Amino acid sequence: MPAVGPDPATTAAHDGRWTRPRTYVIRTLGCQMNVHDSERMAGLLEAAGMVPALPGGAGTDVAADAASADVVVINTCAVRENAATRLYGNLGRLAAVKRENPGLQIAVGGCMAQQDRDGIVARAPWVDVVFGTHNIDALPVLLERARHNASAQVEIHESLQVFPSTLPTKRESVYAGWVSISVGCNNTCTFCIVPHLRGKERDRRPGDVLAEVQAVVDAGAIEVTLLGQNVNSYGVSFGERDAFAKLLRACGPIEGLERVRFTSPHPAAFTDDVIAAMAETPNVMPSLHMPLQSGSDRVLRAMRRSYRSAKFLGILDRVRAAIPDAAITTDLIVGFPGETEEDFQATLDVVEASRFSAAFTFQYSPRPGTPAADLPPLDPAVVSERYGRLIELQERVSAEENHALVGSEVEVLVAEHDGRKDVRSGRVSGRARDNRLVHLGLGDLAEADRPRPGDVVTTVVTHAAPHHLVADGAPLRVRRTRSGDAWQLRRDGGDACGTPSDGSAAAAVGPVSLGLPTLRVGPR
């Protein structure tokens, strides 16, 4: 058995002794999958003995954050063209910090790392570690190897080495958690780089998923979001095509789990058994993200999206028939190569008919390595003008849909960081059951009676805007929850998962760590 020396996550003093734990900052760019992957990275670093440089969370200035840290990890996205600009912009700012502090280690992971590989170190030679989407588990070892060898370490694997959900996790929120049900994607959309960077779909067994959901709930959460690149194809890899609907239903009896969400489904594989499971399982929320991308059948064919607009609208009709209060959001791409004015008008028509509560809209961005990247682009001025028209339409629809809720009761899970103006306005913010953002007035509630993040407030909507609701009257009810208790415990001295830093008995709401043994740091 190899000898175990000083823990690599401690900082060496000049006389060779090992002193304080090393500190880290993780900066996340991209989607919910990246946010969850960053939780895994944080769990790995803390399992190796590191501690957060900024316990309150990273700020908006990467250089300022890095000034407080021994290790900076940038978890990258490659879905849009500006991903590289954001990455190398951040790395450029970190170069100056590293000149001042040569001991700072910089690691780049995620989709852009999987794509650019050695090119990252070639463009930014001050980077110490590059690792991909398939070997998150290698991060602590690569950091130590880079430090020991005094040279950059680039390690990219072509297939998944360790399923991420078996890794330690440092969860960002105590009241809501992500749980991966699958990784990778089997679709072949011509605009999308994700299957190339994350590989073919691999599904977790239902028992493993439900065990992690239970662990997240036991740690204090009352909301769980099931994650996958295409959640409703879940089960195909183990031969059970109705597995996703069964998984939703199996979440229903979990005691303490009040809200279940999922993202993202694909219209081609969205079946009526999933709609029934949503409607008949009380803790599955009435919200659905259903990516349209385009309303033109011709463009959908060119995108290799295996559904057409009529099928898409039929899905929405069946969802609303079963779940009348469902809020449906979508993704839309404007300016895909070859899109004509007629095609774009078809998108406007479908958006008008769909009555989305919100839409994530993008101007087409070619990604190297995708089939669509070789197609002749549209005039940027045309794309910009169409994009403006789409935004104008969706803003109107969102405002109308939200205004229809004025005067209705909403149940809001209070969040920690879900509104920028709360301090000035005296409000708190959170998400309604249908996932709409709600800004809440608290009336004359005494400080001791104010809801904490993780608590649930029932109130009445008084105003509406395209992107949020406002409830300025006094709350009808404030329900204090286990999640609020866990948040308060963390605020008063526990870790990010609600575990007291002194290891006291209140660790009933401790961190989730599934399947990976760790070494104790320091004396017993």
Residues in the annotated binding site for [4Fe-4S] cluster: 31, 77, 111, 185, 189, 192
Beta bridge partners of 410: 459
Q: Residue 428 in contact with residue 414, Cβ under 8 Å?
A: yes
- DSSP letter for each residue of 393-432: HHHHHHHHHHHTTTT-EEEEEE-SSS-TTHHHHT-EEEEE
In this structure, what DSSP letter does residue 441 have? -
**CA–CA gap between residue 237 and residue 260 (Å, rounded):** 23
Q: Residue 27 in contact with residue 73, Cβ under 8 Å?
A: yes
Nearest Cα neighbor of 161 from 177, 186, 142 is 142
HSE on the CB side for 208, CA within 13 Å? Answer: 15
Q: What angle do CA 102, 103, 109 make, to 5 degrees?
A: 100
**CA–CA gap between residue 272 and residue 275 (Å, rounded):** 5
**CA–CA gap between residue 348 and residue 350 (Å, rounded):** 6
**CA–CA gap between residue 254 and residue 215 (Å, rounded):** 11
Within 10 angstroms of residue 514's Cβ, the number of other Cβ atoms is 15
Q: What angle do CA 155, 152, 521 make, to 5 degrees?
A: 80
**CA–CA gap between residue 410 and residue 255 (Å, rounded):** 23
**CA–CA gap between residue 10 and residue 30 (Å, rounded):** 30
**CA–CA gap between residue 179 and residue 191 (Å, rounded):** 27
**CA–CA gap between residue 294 and residue 346 (Å, rounded):** 8
Q: Residue 499 in contact with residue 507, Cβ under 8 Å?
A: yes
- Alpha-carbon Rg of the chain, whole angstroms? 24
Dihedral sign, Cα of residue 234, residue 172, residue 88, residue 158:
negative
- Continuous segment of H or E residues that includes residue 144: helix 139-149
- Continuous segment of H or E residues that includes residue 387: helix 380-403
- Continuous segment of H or E residues that includes residue 179: strand 176-180
Point out the annotated binding site. 31, 77, 111, 185, 189, 192
Within 10 angstroms of residue 480's Cβ, the number of other Cβ atoms is 14
Which residue shows structure tokens 């605020």?
A: 491
CB within 8 Å of 89: residues ≥ 6 apart: none
